[in-house]
């Protein structure tokens, strides 16, 4: 802090903290569905919280394109693999843009910037001896493009656990990554850094498997016919798609301008691909001599109306369903449902229509929307649409300033722990406390007596101020509607700062008492109209 013309001010240009968040890069042979939208929305909300608090954020998503099934699907359609990948990557990009996801870059593994760096990393590993040539034989799951360890293959009765097709016995001459060499270092790292793999249940699973021993892994395959990245100086071998893909997190930022973002602070994945991210990836980084990511967070799965989503059941929450929810309830409502009801921890979550309506009506229409409408309506009605002065104090069970301060602290802590559900709950707690305050102090009754109007002013000022702070804390989840609310409360400067500078100043903005009495306040349409199925 410093002082200037007698005022205390925060030094705005202090070096911002960097924050790098990633999502998995998605296979281009599928159309985007709720799972892809979920992880990307989680990353978006985290990115927005960090931008709001002033951090220098880099948020990366993208597509994983070099799978053999991409080349097969393209051939069936008479297209080149790249043409097919272009179409489908385009669909992901359009979807993410339509859903207003705020990624800073979208990496496609078919891009030169990615391919060139992957070759350089593999060359480095060849030079250091961490990649070597050898013979491999094992059970191969063609749909997943991965080898299944012998004990797992037995457990699955030699069928793919994903699509039920028979595993095939395959032998090949491959390049291998010396994973075994890094077993101890990785185990120590995970033990010493409890946040490195989260949630805890997943961390324990990973540690258990590591303790069973890590064998070297094949990182190349033959017969890819030109689709994929060739091994340096050995064009018959193509770098295995998973190895190619994992590098995306580094290739995208491995430039002079962006390297300060590495290592990633949070890497979001689902439980299906945790092994690659918690074991193979950090060991490859160790072999390259690069710092490891701060957190690999593996959420669980969405299921649909109580059942696992699958092609055969045709019950995917697909793009059509997603767009329908957006048009019926608004984009912010979809984000709210995903963030508050989603499988962030270690249990799956059910995407159920009835639950969607319940959550929407209870939290958004009845709690937040209603609270905003009540406060602004009374200001319009009793104070001619101008924010009243804080008058004499009015007895209430609890001070709003301290409720708000506590919520801000809770949200900041929750964000650091990727506990988005807790963050939203704390923010909504402010809204609930406003409702309670209105019930206790009854401004609508006091307003009938002109002598009590100054007290009504105090109450409504406090409500507006608490609502303003709640709206800041909810903005990352509900950016569109909270910006509308800022318009109504005369707080458009937040929108400007977030749009122009790309970052806010949450702790300063969220200090109590910043709304200026006399500011015009308008009521507008309901932020979240009640949804009635009929």
Site for ligand MSP in 216-255 (CB under 6 A): 245-246, 248
Distance CA 229, CA 214 (A): 26
- With respect to ligand MSP, which residue has the nearer C-beta, 246 or 467? 246
- With respect to ligand MSP, which residue has the nearer C-beta, 35 or 479? 35
* Phi, then psi, of 28 in degrees rounded to 5: -85, 0
Closest among 85, 64, 113 to 252, alpha carbons compared = 113
Q: Is the dihedral of CA 412, 418, 420, 426 positive or negative?
A: negative
- With respect to ligand MSP, which residue has the nearer C-beta, 262 or 302? 302
Site for ligand MSP in 307-346 (CB under 6 A): 309
- With respect to ligand MSP, which residue has the nearer C-beta, 59 or 461? 59
Element (H, E) at 499: helix 492-500
Site for ligand MSP in 497-526 (CB under 6 A): none
Long-range contacts of 368-371 (CB under 8 A, 24+ apart): 368/428, 368/431, 368/470, 368/474, 368/527, 368/528, 369/526, 369/527, 369/528, 369/529, 370/435, 371/431, 371/434, 371/435, 371/463, 371/467
Closest among 43, 56, 99, 59 to 415, alpha carbons compared = 43
- With respect to ligand MSP, which residue has the nearer C-beta, 25 or 466? 25
Mark the segment that binds ligand MSP (CB under 6 A) among 123-131, 159-167, 269-277, 369-377. 269-277
Q: How near is the Cβ of 186 to ligand MSP at its closest, in Å?
A: 18
Q: How near is the Cβ of 472 to ligand MSP at its closest, in Å?
A: 28
Distance CA 376, CA 378 (A): 5
Distance CA 290, CA 320 (A): 42
Q: Is residue 301 a contact residue for ligand MSP (CB under 6 A)? A: yes
- With respect to ligand MSP, which residue has the nearer C-beta, 22 or 455? 22
CA distances from 165 to 142, 144, 155, 240 (A): 9, 11, 14, 21
Q: Is the dihedral of CA 405, 430, 49, 13 positive or negative?
A: negative
Q: Is residue 302 a contact residue for ligand MSP (CB under 6 A)? A: yes
Site for ligand MSP in 5-24 (CB under 6 A): 24
Q: Is residue 275 a contact residue for ligand MSP (CB under 6 A)? A: no
Q: How near is the Cβ of 300 to ligand MSP at its closest, in Å?
A: 7
Q: How near is the Cβ of 93 to ligand MSP at its closest, in Å?
A: 14
Q: Is residue 273 a contact residue for ligand MSP (CB under 6 A)? A: yes
Phi and psi based region of residue 289 (left: phi greater than 0; alpha: psi -120 to 50; beta: remaining):
left
Q: Is residue 272 a contact residue for ligand MSP (CB under 6 A)? A: yes
Distance CA 36, CA 299 (A): 12
Tokens linked to 80: 């080149």
- With respect to ligand MSP, which residue has the nearer C-beta, 33 or 50? 33
Q: How near is the Cβ of 58 to ligand MSP at its closest, in Å?
A: 17
Q: How near is the Cβ of 445 to ligand MSP at its closest, in Å?
A: 49
Q: How near is the Cβ of 28 to ligand MSP at its closest, in Å?
A: 8
CA distances from 29 to 64, 72, 144, 310, 394 (A): 9, 10, 12, 15, 62
Q: Is the peptide bond before 201 cis (omega within 30 degrees of 0)?
A: no
User: Do residues 3 and 62 lie in contact, with contact meaning Cβ atoms separated by under 8 Å?
Assistant: no
Q: Is residue 383 a contact residue for ligand MSP (CB under 6 A)? A: no
Q: How near is the Cβ of 328 to ligand MSP at its closest, in Å?
A: 21
Q: Is the peptide bond before 270 cis (omega within 30 degrees of 0)?
A: no
Q: How near is the Cβ of 26 to ligand MSP at its closest, in Å?
A: 4
- With respect to ligand MSP, which residue has the nearer C-beta, 346 or 366? 346
Binding residue count for ligand MSP, defined by CB under 6 A: 20
Mark 24-53 with x for binding to ligand MSP (rule: CB under 6 A) and - for no binding.
xxxx--x----xx-xx--------------
What is the β-pairing status of strands 131-141 and 146-148? Answer: antiparallel
Mark 102-141 with x for binding to ligand MSP (rule: CB under 6 A) and - for no binding.
----------------------------------------
Q: Is the dihedral of CA 155, 160, 164, 169 positive or negative?
A: negative
User: Do residues 520 and 360 lie in contact, with contact meaning Cβ atoms separated by under 8 Å?
Assistant: no
Strand ranges, E, within 250-367? 266-270, 295-299, 302-304, 349-351
Nearest residue to ligand MSP by CB is 35
Q: Is residue 64 a contact residue for ligand MSP (CB under 6 A)? A: yes
Tokens linked to 439: 């019930």
- With respect to ligand MSP, which residue has the nearer C-beta, 28 or 474? 28
Q: How near is the Cβ of 399 to ligand MSP at its closest, in Å?
A: 41
Q: Is residue 293 a contact residue for ligand MSP (CB under 6 A)? A: no
Q: Is residue 62 a contact residue for ligand MSP (CB under 6 A)? A: no
- With respect to ligand MSP, which residue has the nearer C-beta, 228 or 369? 228
Q: How near is the Cβ of 243 to ligand MSP at its closest, in Å?
A: 9
- With respect to ligand MSP, which residue has the nearer C-beta, 64 or 332? 64
Q: How near is the Cβ of 40 to ligand MSP at its closest, in Å?
A: 8
Q: How near is the Cβ of 458 to ligand MSP at its closest, in Å?
A: 47
- With respect to ligand MSP, which residue has the nearer C-beta, 28 or 379? 28
Q: How near is the Cβ of 293 to ligand MSP at its closest, in Å?
A: 12
User: Do residues 270 and 299 lie in contact, with contact meaning Cβ atoms separated by under 8 Å?
Assistant: yes
Binding site for ligand MSP (CB under 6 A): 24-27, 30, 35-36, 38-39, 64, 245-246, 248, 269-270, 272-273, 301-302, 309
């Amino acid at each position: 802090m410093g002082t200037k013309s007698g005022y205390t001010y925060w030094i705005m240009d202090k070096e911002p903290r960097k924050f790098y968040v990633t999502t998995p890069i998605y296979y281009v042979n599928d159309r985007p569905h709720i799972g892809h939208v979920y992880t990307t929305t989680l990353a978006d909300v985290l990115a927005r919280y960090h931008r709001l608090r002033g951090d220098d954020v880099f948020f990366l998503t993208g597509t994983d394109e070099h799978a053999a099934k991409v080349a097969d699907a393209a051939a069936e359609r008479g297209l080149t693999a790249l043409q097919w990948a272009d179409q489908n990557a385009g669909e992901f990009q359009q979807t993410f843009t339509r859903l207003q996801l705020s990624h800073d870059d979208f990496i496609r593994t078919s891009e030169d910037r990615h391919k060139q760096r992957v070759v350089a990393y593999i060359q480095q590993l060849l030079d250091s001896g961490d990649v070597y040539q050898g013979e491999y034989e094992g059970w191969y799951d063609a749909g997943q493009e991965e080898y299944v360890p012998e004990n797992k293959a037995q457990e699955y009765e030699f069928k793919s656990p994903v699509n039920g097709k028979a595993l095939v016995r395959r032998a090949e001459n491959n390049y291998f990554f010396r994973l075994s060499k890094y077993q101890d270092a990785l185990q120590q790292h995970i033990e010493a850094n409890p946040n490195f793999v989260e949630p805890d249940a997943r961390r324990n699973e990973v540690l258990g498997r590591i303790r069973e021993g890590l064998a070297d892994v094949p990182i190349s395959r033959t017969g890819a016919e030109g689709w994929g990245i060739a091994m340096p100086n050995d064009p018959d071998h193509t770098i295995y798609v998973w190895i190619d893909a994992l590098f995306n997190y580094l290739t995208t930022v491995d430039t002079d301008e962006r390297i300060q973002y590495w290592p990633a602070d949070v890497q979001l994945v689902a439980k299906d691909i945790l092994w690659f991210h918690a074991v193979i990836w950090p060991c490859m980084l160790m072999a390259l001599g690069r710092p490891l990511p701060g957190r690999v967070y593996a959420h669980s799965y969405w299921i649909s109306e109580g059942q696992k989503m699958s092609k055969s059941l045709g019950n995917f929450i697909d793009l059509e369903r997603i767009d329908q929810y957006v048009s019926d309830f608004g984009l912010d409502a979809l984000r709210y449902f995903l963030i508050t009801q989603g499988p962030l921890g270690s249990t799956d979550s059910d995407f159920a229509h009835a639950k969607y309506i319940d959550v929407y009506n209870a939290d958004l229409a009845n709690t937040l929307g209603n609270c905003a409408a009540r406060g602004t309506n009374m200001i319009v009605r009793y104070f001619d649409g101008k924010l009243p002065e804080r008058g004499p104090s009015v007895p209430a069970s609890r001070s709003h300033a301290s409720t708000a301060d506590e919520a801000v602290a809770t949200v900041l802590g929750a964000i650091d722990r990727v506990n988005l559900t807790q963050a939203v709950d704390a923010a909504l707690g402010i809204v609930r406390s406003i409702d309670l305050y209105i019930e206790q102090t009854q401004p609508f009754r006091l307003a009938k007596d002109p002598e009590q109007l100054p007290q009504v002013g105090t109450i409504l000022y406090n409500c507006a101020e608490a609502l303003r702070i709640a709206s800041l804390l909810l903005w990352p989840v509900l950016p569109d509607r909270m910006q509308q609310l800022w318009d109504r409360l005369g707080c458009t400067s937040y929108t400007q700062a977030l749009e122009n500078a790309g970052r806010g100043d949450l702790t300063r903005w969220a200090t109590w008492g910043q709304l200026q009495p006399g500011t015009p306040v308008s009521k507008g349409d309901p932020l979240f109209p009640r949804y009635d199925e009929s």
